Amino acid sequence: MLLRNTNLQRESKLKITETNLTTVTEFVLVGFSSSPNLHWLLFGIFLVIYLIILLGNGVIILITRLEPMLHTPMYFFVSNFSLLELCYVSVTLPRMLVDLWTQERNISFFACATQMGFFLVLGAVECFLLVVMAYDRYVAICNPLRYSLIMNRKLCIQLVTGSWISSFPVQMGQTVQIFTLPFCGSNIINHFFCDIPPVLKLACGNIFVNELMVYALAFLIVIVPFMLILASYSRIISTILRLPSNTGRGKAFSTCSSHLIVVILFYGSASITYLYSMSSQYESVDKLLALFYTILTPMFNPMIYSLRNKDVIRALRKFLPKLFNI
């Protein structure tokens, strides 16, 4: 009888434990709730930033489609990059604006998984597109006589399509793997969106394999493309330095500088965040870094490509008067 009671108690405890492991049906995004008196100011700032991102990247997409002199491989990639930035920032920023407006930070389990999945996919697409753009500059400067032959329309479409499609299975698979983990205890995510490090901290049991997968994919998707970009630019810089005239060197450097600045901004903050935040004790620093590459970089991209590019400035001067006349 005593043995039977003991077995019943064990079964009861097991059921309770299983119930606790499956009770997490939603999460709470802390966001910037540590500054409650500033939430209206933050809402206004982030709303203006979002509108600037929509306007800036939208204009880049329009002028590269409507202006014939921008119908080149370089601007084809720039317009796709601007479209990506619109999607990328729309995964996190509208949700953050709603949370600041309503002060209700709850997010369902499914919505959190969906946000993380699309955020990871679009982040990977950005890494791949930056590599494609670096390759385009490499061919243009290191092999200019064959540029139009190599970078034909078919290859450009294939490179962009491959960048978008190849990211889905890997990153969605990683998202599914993370959200099939048992979650128990706290459901508070100390972040402004569902990112991998803060979500993994809430998982129960041994997550060593999951963390290993995060580092492995970060290496493949962030570090390997970055190394390819460095290899491209080492060849580009070597070729530029061998050009006979200062004018030629200046023009070559100017065509690469915009892309190089974007690469430094994105990869710098993203690499630090994903490779060090898993063990970081400074979560506020992680949030600031994430804020930089998820919101501020997409805002700066149109400015970088337009203000440092004479072709884009010329196209804007033609396009903007027509827009306002309409």
Collapse the DSSP code of 106 into the 3-class scheme (helix H, G, I; strand E, B; otherwise coil) and give the result. strand
Place of tokens 């092999």: 143
Tell me: pLDDT of 10 over 80.
no
pLDDT of residue 6: 39
Bridge partners (DSSP) listed for residue 28: 106, 188
Tell me: pLDDT of 295 over 50.
yes
Name, in order, each residue with C-beta under 8 angstroms of 89's C-beta and a sequence gap of 6 or more: 50, 53, 294, 295, 298
Could you give the C-alpha distances from 75 to 70, 131, 220, 259, 282, in angstroms and in order? 6, 15, 27, 11, 39
According to the per-residue pLDDT averaged within each range, which of 4-8, 35-39, 236-240 is highest? 236-240
Tell me: pLDDT of 30 over 70.
yes
Q: What angle do CA 108, 112, 115 make, to 5 degrees?
A: 135
Q: Count Cα neighbours of 266 within 13 Å in the Cβ-side half-sphere.
A: 29
Amino acid (one-letter) located at 268: G
pLDDT of residue 2: 36
H or E element that contains 27: strand 26-29
pLDDT of residue 132: 95
Per residue in 308-318, pLDDT (tens digit) is 677 788 887 87
Report, as an integer, the average pLDDT of 162-183: 91
Q: Count Cα neighbours of 4 within 13 Å in the Cβ-side half-sphere.
A: 1
Per residue in 201-247, pLDDT (tens digit) is 888 878 888 888 888 888 888 888 989 999 999 999 898 888 887 77
Q: Which two tokens stand for residue 116?
A: 């993380």
According to the per-residue pLDDT averaged within each range, which of 12-16, 115-119, 183-187, 194-198 is highest? 115-119
Higher pLDDT, 43 or 243: 43
- The 188-189 sheet, strands edge to edge: 106-108, 26-29, 188-189
For residue 11, what pLDDT band results from cuts at 50, 70 and 90?
A: very low
Q: Count Cα neighbours of 270 within 13 Å in the Cβ-side half-sphere.
A: 26
The pTM of this model reads 0.85
Name, in order, each residue with C-beta under 8 angstroms of 74's C-beta and a sequence gap of 6 or more: 133, 136, 137, 140, 255
Tell me: pLDDT of 7 over 50.
no
Q: What does pLDDT average to over the chain?
A: 82
For residue 276, what pLDDT band results from cuts at 50, 70 and 90?
A: low
pLDDT of residue 283: 61
Tell me: pLDDT of 296 over 70.
yes
Tell me: pLDDT of 21 over 60.
no
Amino acid (one-letter) located at 216: A
Report, as an integer, the average pLDDT of 94-101: 92
For residue 18, what pLDDT band results from cuts at 50, 70 and 90?
A: very low
Residues 201 and 40: beta-carbon distance below 8 Å: no
Burial tier of 62 (Cβ tally within 10 Å: 0-12, 13-18, 19+): middle
